[in-house]
Amino acid sequence: KNQVEQSPQSLIILEGKNCTLQCNYTVSPFSNLRWYKQDTGRGPVSLTIMTFSENTKSNGRYTATLDADTKQSSLHITASQLSDSASYICVVYYGGSQGNLIFGKGTKLSVKP
Amino acid sequence: NAGVTQTPKFQVLKTGQSMTLQCAQDMNHNSMYWYRQDPGMGLRLIYYSASEGTTDKGEVPNGYNVSRLNKREFSLRLESAAPSQTSVYFCASSQRLGRWGSNQPQHFGDGTRLSIL
């Protein structure tokens, strides 16, 4: 069964600290993996898209890694800010040009002052 | 540049009423999508339109209909609303032809929060 699982479900950190969010997937054939940020009351916004051949991709203080062998991805947030408080959603695209997207349930991050 | 615009932002309906959710994008994207987001679940695809003039069912199409009015606009209609359709509805668009636009990101609107009593 094609699945995307994220952990933890929720996380609280202090402003200025780093954190890492996890995403495990079981899909085939894999095409790419996406991380989105969703602020409360807003739609998701794309952070990164990584293909099979990419191990790391950064977007400012956000760094995503991908291990296609173990089917794991992580999103690392450096020097967190209050504005990082949001849900982070892992999405996997599989099946080629006529494929499908599977959305994870998200990790809710709260950054406290 | 507004991106993806959804109207209305909030709506309360009674069971059995009908309504249409509107979506428009100004990025000249070919593909458009409707999702619903429920607590504790990932976004689920209701319908999508790979290009103007075409529509296809997604994962949870029952109880919904769609219209791709032109390249910019993609509407979602609830013919007879049911409490199970209480949800947040998101419209999205992407640049490339095809269902998911391969490596292109999807751009989302800010959602319509729909409650059905």
C-beta separation of A50 from A64 below 8 A = yes
Count Cβ neighbours within 10 Å for each residue of B40-66 and write b for 16 or more, e otherwise.
eebbbbbbbbbeeeebeebebbeebeb
pLDDT in the model for residue A111: 98
Look up residue B30 and give its two tokens.
Answer: 């070919």
- Categorize the per-residue pLDDT at A98 as very low, low, confident or very high, splitting at 50, 70 and 90: low
| B40 chain-A contacts, CB cut-off 8 A | 105
| A32 chain-B contacts, CB cut-off 8 A | 102-103
pLDDT in the model for residue A96: 64
Q: What is the pLDDT along chain B (117 residues), one digit of tens a residue?
A: 679 999 999 999 999 999 999 999 999 999 999 999 999 888 999 999 988 889 999 999 999 999 998 999 999 999 999 999 999 999 999 986 555 557 788 999 999 999 999
**What whole-number distance in Å separates Cα of residue A8 and Cα of residue A61?**
20
Read off the amino acid at residue A102.
I
Residue with tokens 């990164």: A48
What is the least distance, in Å, from the CA of A28 to any CA of chain B?
15
- Contact with chain B for residue A68, Cβ under 8 A: no
pLDDT in the model for residue A100: 84
- For chain A, the distance separating the N- and C-terminal CA atoms, rounded to the nearest angstrom, is 41
Q: Which residues of B touch A (CB under 8 A)?
A: 4, 40-45, 90, 92, 98-100, 102-103, 105-111
**What whole-number distance in Å separates Cα of residue B102 and Cα of residue B114?**
30
Which of A5-14, A59-68, B45-54 is predicted least confidently?
B45-54
Q: What is the mean pLDDT of chain A?
A: 94
Q: What is the mean pLDDT of residues A53-80?
A: 96
**What whole-number distance in Å separates Cα of residue B75 and Cα of residue B59?**
17
Radius of gyration of the CA atoms of chain A, in A: 14
pLDDT in the model for residue B97: 55
Task: Give long-range contacts, CB 8 A cutoff, 24+ apart: B71-74.
Answer: B71/B28, B71/B30, B72/B24, B72/B25, B72/B26, B73/B22, B73/B23, B73/B24, B74/B23, B74/B24, B74/B32, B74/B33, B74/B34, B74/B49
pLDDT in the model for residue B1: 61
| A42 chain-B contacts, CB cut-off 8 A | 110-111
